[in-house]
Amino acid sequence: MIVFLTMLAMGMVIGFVGAGGAGVVIAVLTLIFEIPVHTAVGTSLAAMIFTTISGTFSHFREGNINFKVGLTVGAVGFVGAFIGSKIATNYLSGSNLRLCTASMLVASAVLVYSRLTWPDLPIFHPRGGGQTESNFSGPSFWILAVIGGLGNGLLSGTFGIGAAQFIQLTLLIFFGLPLFQSVGTTMLIILPMAVSGGLGYLLSGFLDITLFIQVLLGLMIGAYTGAKFTRHAPRWLLKTAMVMMPGLAGVLLLVLKH
């Protein structure tokens, strides 16, 4: 019950700021409840399956998804995430996995801060002036899809994070998607990665079903409630929370020990 109530509170914050919280879930489970990090990562990935379904459906209704890019990169990411889960469970010790996950969270926070502070940087804008037919056809498309899907899938499956910021950059730089499509397509790509990564951890015995149910219910109910307050929040508060959530979680994982 304590885990559920904690996830409920976390879900409200996540829903309030409109940001992913997979890494924060890992930090809370390992640091507060002393859940082994491999189990925490597997639980986070499994919960992400269900939390991204609603987001993907919403973006689909709004026309924010490029299906050719999303399905192709997502299919390759499915393979990458499964490989990543096996790397984590077979070759990374608990301490090494904590260090790697923490580093990715800090990097994600830096990336979010950069996007919010310097939105006009060339890296945050589509290549070649935006979408072109060449971006979605020919050998270059398939090569970039494999590189982007495999790389982001490995990040997600190994470290249990959604890798949303990294996927969005991939879509902007590799395929020239406009920002609104990069956000929606990212949700579609994360879904198969979460399924594959969660499956990999489950097959390796690192998914606690009871813990998973508590985490999932708490996050979903909390996120639904927290989202209702987003429109009433000052912009500076939302920006600060979006940076602080992954950054603080990463720092705590780095400096605190069981």
pTM listed for this prediction = 0.81
pLDDT value, residue 177: 84
3-state secondary structure of 128: helix
Q: What is the DSSP letter of 227?
A: G
pLDDT in tens, 137-147: 788 899 999 99
pLDDT value, residue 110: 87
pLDDT value, residue 128: 52
pLDDT value, residue 77: 96
DSSP 94-139: HHHHHHHHHHHHHHHHHHHHHHHH-TTSGGGS-GGGS--GGGGSHH
pLDDT in tens, 43-96: 888 888 887 787 787 778 878 889 999 999 999 999 999 999 999 999 989 888
Rg (alpha carbons) of the chain, rounded to whole number: 17
The pLDDT of 189-205, averaged and rounded, is 91
